[in-house]
A and B are shown apart, each in its own frame.
Chain A
């Protein structure tokens, strides 16, 4: 407690100073100190000795900390009755914990949103992101991805009876809803020039906005949309998929050992049929064959 408060006080001063510097000292371009310490920090985590350290750190800690969604039915949804978070991503995370500890309960789940997850990973708050995260080249610069563990594609969710039946009905004046930090925003804005997607903090908010009539359609990966349609049968997924969204599990850049372990877990799960079981349990159909 005491140490944390000191941290707080120290950080307050730093924050304040940083803001003052930006506000008043625009001409001050000597930020050597800041960048130097940043460099050494990133070198440290990417260094050879660290690579084998992450799994040892996790084992020493006694639990794996995974960032998951709390608001996404089928993948990661908080159930207020049981107090648990449940979904496909959760079951995959548990399998990884089981691989490390031989016990799937040695896991701590933390809530992430599309907006916060990469920074939480960098921060060291979480060891892995298992949160409906699409593998992209852009993100590969930020994090290390596992093999694909789920194949999604972007689609559209509309109210039953909506005139929108697919991407062809979307114009630049359509009111399209999405989530900050999701790849789906850029995808659809590229496909429909001039379109500006209205973006919310998380899927919960975006779906609430759709239900409140704030938009004509909500766009993101079909898997997430199916969860919403299941939650409220007044809504339906239309038009098939118009992108490929391969989901990957992300680890902090340089944690290659952890990524290898995740890949091994995924392979074992597929070989043993456990993957298919989990897939069917949540998605309601057999996983597509490779």
Chain B
């Protein structure tokens, strides 16, 4: 059932795809964290316009499929003269899509810190930003780390969308191998194995963090 020659004969393709999957995941991870934090700050900012933007952003991207988001980057932007390849569009799509979930996780974390603390901090003379930076965020971070690491896990899995846009990832090269070998079972099981190499450690780390949080609480 499992033919190891499929792996050994096509190892170059597998590794090439694996490399791009890792690139997309790392870039997506960094980008979605930065973007997500920014949107979360918008969501709880004292300015109505920023809050409105943050809310619209989160609700829009959370409620449409990732496939559509990548479509917008890949085809939509080219109508405005911005030409992005499959890898770039896919990675940007991943960033934007995942950032909406991360923003929500961070917002929930920040708002879980009792409002009295902000008031107390402000009354001691700290500015809003200082209070955020030194009082609220350090507490919120502990709460949001498990859900965020879970989002990163999802991001790695979702990076497979690149394969649909010639994004050179594992999924894309998996299709190439299948078309060469016609052994879909072995081909895709090995593709799965490569994903598990990335996702199992992440899932384990998430579990540990969740447990630690639960014990601390």
Whether A212 pairs with B74 at a CB distance below 8 angstroms is yes
> Could you mark each residue 1-35 of chain A with 1 if its beta carbon is under 8 Å from any beta carbon of chain B, else 0?
00000000000000000110111000000010011
Q: Which of A131-180 contact B (CB under 8 A)?
A: 142, 177, 180
Q: Is B75 an interface residue (CB 8 A)?
A: yes
Q: Is B175 an interface residue (CB 8 A)?
A: yes
Bound-state CA distance A200–B1 (Å) is 28
Whether A22 pairs with B190 at a CB distance below 8 angstroms is yes
Report A214 CB to chain B, min CB distance, Å: 7
Report B24 CB to chain A, min CB distance, Å: 16
Stretch touching chain A among B78-86, B148-156, B209-217: B78-86
Q: Which of A183-226 contact B (CB under 8 A)?
A: 198-201, 205, 208-209, 212-214
By beta carbon, the residue of chain A nearest B189 is A22
Q: Is B141 an interface residue (CB 8 A)?
A: no
- Total A-B pairs in contact (CB under 8 Å)? 55
Q: Is B120 an interface residue (CB 8 A)?
A: no
Given the known interface contacts A19-B189, A213-B78, the answer about A31 and B179 at a Cβ–Cβ threshold of 8 Å is: no
B residues near A (Cβ < 8 Å) are: 1-2, 74-75, 78-79, 83, 85-86, 164-166, 172, 175-176, 179, 182, 184-185, 189-190, 192-193, 196
Report A116 CB to chain B, min CB distance, Å: 10
Report A170 CB to chain B, min CB distance, Å: 17
A residues near B (Cβ < 8 Å) are: 18-19, 21-23, 31, 34-35, 38, 115, 118-119, 142, 177, 180-181, 198-201, 205, 208-209, 212-214
Report B204 CB to chain A, min CB distance, Å: 14
Whether A115 pairs with B179 at a CB distance below 8 angstroms is yes
Report A65 CB to chain B, min CB distance, Å: 21
Report B83 CB to chain A, min CB distance, Å: 5
Given the known interface contacts A31-B2, A214-B83, the answer about A200 and B166 at a Cβ–Cβ threshold of 8 Å is: yes
User: Across the interface, which residues of A come within 8 angstroms of B184, CB to CB?
Assistant: 119
Whether B166 pairs with A199 at a CB distance below 8 angstroms is yes
Whether B2 pairs with A214 at a CB distance below 8 angstroms is no
Given the known interface contacts A198-B86, A212-B75, the answer about A21 and B2 at a Cβ–Cβ threshold of 8 Å is: yes
Bound-state CA distance A214–B190 (Å) is 30
